[in-house]
Amino acid sequence: MAKNDCLTRVVAGVGIGGAVGGAFGAVYGTYEAIRYRIPGMLKVRHVGQTTLGSAAVFGLFLGAGSLIQCGKNY
């Protein structure tokens, strides 16, 4: 049962990290696209790449942090 609980925590950490990272990436990508005056449909591509990249990084780190916390007994 403990392994399943740990896996659930890690998956939840990855999901929450991905959501937070995606939101932050979308906001930052939009700001950057406007600031650097990226033309036309390249804006959409830039915002999408920034969103997915931030979601992946935040999800990875929050999932890793959740995995580390699973091993600790208080």
Instruction: Give the separation between CA 37 and CA 34, rounded to whole angstroms.
Output: 5
Global confidence as pTM:
0.87
Specify if 30 maps to a domain.
yes
How many structural domains does the chain have? 1
Q: Judge whether 19 and 51 are in contact, CB under 8 Å.
A: no
Rounded to an integer, the average pLDDT of 7-27 is 96
* pLDDT > 70? residue 3: no
pLDDT at 44: 96
pLDDT recorded at residue 2: 62
Note whether residue 4 is domain-resident: no
What does the block give as tokens for 39?
A: 């033309």
Span 41-61, pLDDT tens digits: 999 999 999 999 999 999 999
Rg of the chain on CA atoms, in Å: 16
Asked if residue 66 belongs to a domain, the reply is: no
Domain range for 31 is: 20-61
